[in-house]
Amino acid sequence: MHSDPRAFTALVKLLSDAIVFAFTTPVGLSALGALLLSAFALRVRSALRASAAADRASGRERSAGSAFLAVLEAALGSLLKAASALPTLAVLAAVAVSVVAVAEATRRVEEIAENERRIRELSAVVRNLERSVKVADLRVIDRSGGSTRFEIDFYDPSRGSGSVERRVLSIKGRDLYFDALVLNFDYSEIEAGRGVNIAIPYRVFSDEVAQMDGIPLGAADGDGIPYAWKRSDEDVYGIAPRAYRERLAELVALARSDADARRAGIVRSVYGSAVHRKVEAGDRLEIRIEQSGGLTVKERFAF
């Protein structure tokens, strides 16, 4: 019958955690101290009882001196017993140190393996995102009073050709500019050696509304995953669909934070005026993410 190496590894980690807790934490050291004091107290109690029994047997009256001698004898006996156990304690200490060292080495190896697996999976996610997909269709409803009113339908590649969300927005001005949040992986472990840009539609502003005051497009589901980044199980390649979704959520979290993106070696940038159109009532536009990582706006059809 073969033993399970995972069970052995788990046991080593458990023992290591117990050793580290007992000898390096205030609570653990306090517990060890209390245990030793309790053992010594029991030994003293036993010695006092033996001394009292001897006094009764000999007919002597119990005295403080005999009690003190009993305590002293118990203390010396404990010290002699501890001294005689030093070789055994040294062996146990060496075993404990070895257990901790093996557990830490195992954890380090597992951490390296997990990080390599994470990088492989994130790289596979990025490769799945490197394709041209339609993000949204836009229809200009009205151009009046110096404002542009339009409806925008968002698409989820994992759910067929129908739109998944419609928003009606109004903004001052007639030149519409579309911002994109761009992740650049040039210096990232995730896609080392390849220049890769991934864009996320971010917001719309205009010739009269400053970039910083633009309207967020949303274009994401309830978990904050951009619709354009979602893929059906059949479309995912190089990674299990479940792992794709898990790592995609991790990538979105990186995209939200400059600090996290920098730690991952990703250049995170928001750029304005990348694509824009002067629009009139009735115009229909298609917004796409291209394989090159850019955002494009094209006419769906002209009137």
pLDDT in tens, 208-255: 999 889 999 888 888 889 898 899 999 999 999 999 999 899 888 877
- Predicted confidence band of residue 147 (pLDDT cuts 50, 70, 90): very high
Which of 71, 102, 126 is the last residue in one of the domains? 126
173: left (phi over 0), alpha (psi -120 to 50) or beta: left
CA 62 to chain centre: 69
Q: What is the pLDDT of residues 80-138, one digit of tens each?
A: 776 776 777 788 888 888 888 888 888 888 888 887 888 888 888 888 888 888 889 99
* For the chain, the helix, strand and coil percentages under 3-state DSSP, each to the nearest 5: 50, 25, 25
pLDDT at 273: 45
**Residue 196 · residue 185 · CB < 8 Å:** yes
The 163-172 sheet, strands edge to edge: 163-172, 147-155, 133-144, 284-289, 295-299
pLDDT band at residue 70 under the 50/70/90 scheme = low
Pick from 74, 94, 126: which residue ends a domain? 126
- Enumerate the H helices of the chain as residue ranges: 5-24, 26-58, 64-84, 86-129, 241-256, 258-263
> Could you tell me if 73 and 60 lie in one domain?
yes
Q: Which residue would you say has higher pLDDT here, 138 or 294? A: 138
The tens digit of pLDDT for each residue in 164-179 reads 999 999 999 989 999 8
Q: How many domains does the chain have?
A: 2
Q: What is the sign of the dihedral through the CA atoms of 218, 221, 223 and 227?
A: negative
163 with 205, same domain?
A: yes
**Residue 185 identity:** F
d(CA 50, CA 53): 5
pLDDT score of 68: 66
Cβ contacts of 40 within 8 Å, gap of 6 or more: 74, 75, 78
Q: Are 43 and 183 part of one and the same domain?
A: no
Same domain, 166 and 43: no
Assess whether 60 and 147 both reside in one domain.
no
Domain span holding position 11: 5-126
Rounded to an integer, what distance in angstroms lies between the CA atom of residue 264 and that of residue 126?
A: 14
Q: Which single residue is written with the structure tokens 């245990």?
A: 35
Whole-number Å distance between alpha carbons of 143 and 9? 69
Is 118 in the same domain as 151?
no
Closest listed residue to residue 121, CA positions, set 225, 287, 245, 289:
245
Share of the chain above pLDDT 70, in %: 79
Question: Residues 296, 199: contact at Cβ < 8 Å?
Answer: no
Residue 189 makes CB contacts below 8 A (sequence gap 6+) with 119, 264, 265
Pair (91, 229) in one structural domain: no
Average pLDDT, integer, range 63-92: 70
1 pLDDT band, cuts 50/70/90, is very low
The pLDDT of residue 302 is: 47
Q: Tell whether 61 and 150 lie within a shared domain.
A: no
Give yes or no for residue 23 having a pLDDT over 90: no
Length of the chain: 303
Both tokens of residue 79? 């010290």
199 torsion bin: left (phi>0), alpha (psi -120 to 50), beta (else): beta
Mean pLDDT estimate for the chain: 81
Provide the token pair at 227.
Answer: 């619709």
Residue 5 contacts by C-beta under 8 Å, 6 or more apart in sequence?
Answer: none
Which pLDDT value is given to residue 40?
73
**Residue 137 and residue 54 in one domain:** no
101 with 246, same domain: the answer is no
186/106 same-domain check: no
At which of 126, 146, 172 does a domain end?
126
Classify residue 219 by burial, with Cβ atoms within 10 Å: 0-12, 13-18, 19+.
buried
- Across 43-52, 181-190, 232-241, 267-276, the highest mean pLDDT is recorded for 232-241
Residue 32 has what pLDDT?
80
Write down the pLDDT at residue 272: 44
Contact indicator for 265, 188 with CB cutoff of 8 Å: yes
Say yes or no: 44 and 84 in one domain: yes
